[in-house]
Amino acid sequence: MPIATPEVYAEMLDRAKAGGFAYPAINVTSSQTLNAALRGFAEAESDGIVQVSTGGAEFLSGTTVKDMVTGATALAEYARIVAEKYPVTVALHTDHCPKNKLDGFMRPLIDISLERVSKGLDPLFQSHMWDGSAVPLEENLEIAKELLDKCARARIIMEMEIGVVGGEEDGVVGEINEKLYTTSEDALATAEAVGVGDNGRYMLAATFGNVHGVYKPGHVKLRPGVLKEIQEAVGAKYGKDKPFDLVFHGGSGSTLEEIQEAISYGVVKMNIDTDTQYAFTRPIADHMFRNYDGVLKVDGEVGNKKTYDPRSYGKAAETGMAARVVEACRHLKSAGTKIS
């Protein structure tokens, strides 16, 4: 099945919300990690979301080119071809874009989609994330209004964040403090500024103690009930049940019970990066340690081409990451729910 059309992507999110499950959104940084994500979704019989961050897009363009739009575009075009060979539907998304990178990442990518849509084509990406968590809420919402209008014209779903995710991702550091918990007042202000779907569809990354990075279970103090509170507060005002399509960021170290409680309050997308990075790298480390005298030319020897061929450990890495994607689908209850 090809990359999701705007209509199919909307259907995916609707099905997740109605069915009480969420899609894993897997961060990728290469064609190989993309293949691992697609394989994992296929093995779990789950549709899903593949996403690229600003740093991932820059890396994809080449370590000397360092052009985020080039890298993101290349990924999207490659994904369109290889995804045809997998029996699942996948949406393409760009992850956290802070204010200082809007003009070099999100805005030009939306412009590409606007041009494509004007020619009768689907947008390049199905959704983009504006991360205004580092600016005051009023400014965050003003920028969100502008971007939502532009996304709607490009047939793109926007994702936005209110509150702050702690920890570090792509050089952006969020302090671990009371701002990790979105308030009902924040959510009501968001609905007042950008609507509840009437001005264009968007997903909301509301924070409830989320922290980027890797932590042992119990370190992250999640309060999923925060999501219930904001859904009820805004739902009561606008007469809608669970008005927000919610996104779960920074889930490493969360318990399965916390994850599934969050889903019950309207989470339809959960970002997964740290855990799949490790699942990809762990088999490579195993290969290198087991075959050190083959991957290295030790004591004047010639090594072993079969073990230093990148395909030898790349296959193991893909298998490891795909297995972690399958696990994510099972945890988020999307396994076995594919549309096709």
The answer to whether the beta carbons of residues 110 and 156 sit under 8 Å apart is yes
Going from the C-alpha of 301 to that of each of 287, 288, 291, 305, the distances in angstroms are: 19, 17, 14, 12
14 catalytic, yes or no? Answer: no
Catalytic residue among 47, 67, 95, 122: 95
Q: Which residues neighbour 55 within 8 Å (Cβ) at sequence distance 6 or greater?
A: 29, 170, 171
CA angle centred on 235, ends 231 and 241, rounded to 5° = 85
Using only C-alpha atoms, the chain has a radius of gyration, in whole angstroms, of 20
- CA atoms of 295 and 307, how far apart (whole Å): 6
The answer to whether the beta carbons of residues 205 and 130 sit under 8 Å apart is no
With H, G, I as helix, E, B as strand and everything else as coil, classify residue 173: strand
Q: Which residues are catalytic?
A: 95
